[in-house]
Amino acid sequence: MLDLPFDLPVFEPGSVWLAGAGPGDPGLLTLLALHALRSADVVVHDALVDARILALIPAGVAAESMGKRGGEASARQADITARLIDLARAGKKVLRLKGGDPFVFGRGPEEALALVAAGVPFRMVPGITAGIGGLAYAGIPVTSKDTNSAVAFVTGHGPDGEIPDEFDWNALARGAPVLVFYMGLKHLDLLTERLMAAGRKADEAVAVVCNAATPRQIVLETSLAEAVQAVERAGLKPPALLVVGPVVELRRQLDWWIP
């Protein structure tokens, strides 16, 4: 399938591979994820998997969309997991294809644990998470020796759609110079308000990256205090990343991306 000087693992019938598709650009697929796409009998994919990646599914291979999108009608997680188990028990080579990395603010761990409980063999195929790869396409590094030696990756909402109750905003605000929020637009007003109340400066640099690493990518640079109004004026919609910190200012020099 791929002309390589080494062997890739065999995708066995009756097993599930949980693979990350990366943030968007098909070129960011790993070799192992591409191998899985070309070997699977059925691909169960999320809504955020780029259409150009789905186009790589060979003719005759079943593709089932079981994506979950906040605020929209979506498949229930229990139904997705049950479908993976049923397909595997039917002897299929099942690829569960998820945007980004399955183990970074995804339901990959939950699905893998369900497979273990059901006795279904599985393999993890990590992907490039949007908080790293997507920001790179926006010209924003998550670390730089002159700006920060720590970065915090934070979910903008939990499984119930609300900001997780366990956040220690003071510790979060002090703990890392750079904060990367996934799924942060829904509660942008609360996020920015609580960060400033915890000590982050109102004029601190912020970037909002929508549809990262796709031809539809939009990057908005603003400040913590002005972020809500700027996003409303621009009409930005999810999926989006929110980046807070000095690395945003490096984009002035590192904005390399041409759609």
- For residue 78, the model assigns a pLDDT of 92
CATH of domain 16-128: 3.40.1010.10
Of 68, 186, 189, 255, which residue is the catalytic one? Answer: 68
- For residue 161, the model assigns a pLDDT of 76
Domain with CATH 3.40.1010.10 in the chain: 16-128
| 46 among known catalytic residues | yes
State how far the Cα of 70 lies from the Cα of 249, in Å rounded to an integer. Answer: 30
Of 25, 66, 101, 183, which residue is the catalytic one? Answer: 183
Phi, psi of 94, rounded to the nearest 5 degrees: -105, 120
For residue 148, give the DSSP letter: B
What string of pLDDT tens digits covers the 259 residues of the chain?
568 899 999 999 999 999 999 999 999 999 999 999 999 999 999 999 999 999 999 999 999 998 765 555 568 889 999 999 999 999 999 999 999 999 999 899 999 999 999 999 999 999 999 999 999 999 999 999 999 999 999 998 877 778 877 889 999 999 999 999 999 999 999 999 999 999 999 999 999 999 999 999 999 999 999 999 999 999 999 999 999 999 999 999 999 998 8
Of 25, 46, 50, 101, which residue is the catalytic one? Answer: 46
- For residue 93, the model assigns a pLDDT of 98
Q: Among candidates 82, 84, 43, which has minimal Cα distance to 65?
A: 43
- For residue 1, the model assigns a pLDDT of 57
For residue 6, with 0-12 CB atoms within 10 Å meaning exposed, 13-18 middle and 19 or more buried, which class applies? exposed
| 183 among known catalytic residues | yes
Whole-prediction pTM value? 0.92
> What homologous superfamily does CATH list for 131-254?
Tetrapyrrole methylase, C-terminal domain (3.30.950.10)
Domain with CATH 3.30.950.10 in the chain: 131-254
